[in-house]
Structure 1
């Protein structure tokens, strides 16, 4: 095998798939559902509000214990940020009053949120073998 062939196999190899375990806690009730959007760094400009451009989006019911645990399998290597909405009325959008959220929200890395959504860079996590991502919901 030539050096060029070996280099091309190495350079054009698909990065290995990764997995992540995501735990979400802090739901104030079981109303509505959890909208969970996972954004790859390629879609960081869409983060956090354009769920249609996310790598994956889940709409899950809130369980009795108010804790959601999901496993993201076969995720391409890279940086990701997760945005979460506790959509209590099921309208698939964040309800606000005077610009402040009226429903729960959260992000990977649990950044401090005062005004507006955090940047992708503050929420980005590098996924590697069995990463653990814990998100705590916030309510105003």
Structure 2
């Protein structure tokens, strides 16, 4: 039987997202953030371990499109970006994702610990720019919204993992 708090997480589209053929794998965030278009540099803290892969997704920052299936967004002619990278074995974790232009976006981070490309709420981690404890509820747009300037922006995301009945929270070690 699935606990009731887990059911609140099941309908979230990011739980079942798959990488499209155009997904980028970025290992050197500084190199990926060079160029003409604005970019979001993300410093990730609080990883539970150094397994699997890390993913960033950038959505339009409106209620209708936030966490919407990427195929639907693309079919509607809307912006969507995703990058994957192997989890670094040591050192700071810095990722970068490009935005098409300066503006407001919604940013999602996930830690795919088993590398299966499907969010496992029992194992995997997630995070948003607000760093508010996610708990058992579906994330709100305001928790993921960021402003990207012409020169880009830098945010720090604290990874969160399932922590018992209270839902998702930052990992503090066992």
Distance 1:123 1:21, change over 3 A: same
CA RMSD after TM alignment: 2.5
Aligned length: 120
Deviations 1:9-65 (A, max 9, x none): xxxxxxx943332111222222210121111226x5343363554621111100022
Give the conservation status (yes or no) of the 8 Å contact 1:18–1:130: yes
In our comparison, the structure showing a higher alpha carbon Rg is 1
The alpha-carbon deviation at position 114 of structure 1 amounts to: 1.5
The answer to which structure has the higher strand fraction is: 1
- Give TM-score, length-normalised by structure 1: 0.71
How far 1:102 sits from its partner (Å)? Answer: 2.8
- In structure 2, stretches of 5+ residues that fail to align are 1-35, 74-78, 163-174
TM-score (norm 2): 0.58
Q: 1:112 aligns with which of 109, 133, 139?
A: 133
What's the CA shift string for 1:65-123, capped at 9, x where partnerless? 26421334463122111111111111212113xxxx43111112212212222111222
Corresponding residue for 2:142?
Answer: 121
Unaligned runs of 5+ in 1: 1-15
CA distance in 2, matches of 1:131, 1:116: 27
Aligned mates of 1:37, 1:26 — CA distance in 2? 19
The 1:112–1:28 alpha-carbon spacing in structure 2 relative to 1, beyond 3 Å, is closer
Aligned match of 2:26? none
- Give the equivalent residue in structure 2 for 1:132: 154
**Secondary structure of 2:134's aligned partner:** coil
* Equivalent position SS for 2:131: coil
